[in-house]
Amino acid sequence: MYHSQFQELMTQGYALSNKLHFGEWNPDEFKVWIEDCRTLLSSCEPEPYFPLCPDDRHIEEVVFLLLKVSGEISRGEVEYMGIL
3-state secondary structure of 79: strand
Per-residue pLDDT at 1: 65
Q: Which residues contact 75 (CB under 8 A, 6 or more apart)?
A: none
Residue 43's domain spans which residues?
A: 2-80
Per-residue pLDDT at 84: 53
pLDDT exceeds 90 at position 14? yes
Per-residue pLDDT at 2: 78
pLDDT tens for residues 21-75?
999 999 999 999 999 999 999 999 999 999 999 999 999 999 999 999 999 999 9
Count how many domains the chain has. 1
Stronger pLDDT, 84 or 16, i.e. the higher one: 16
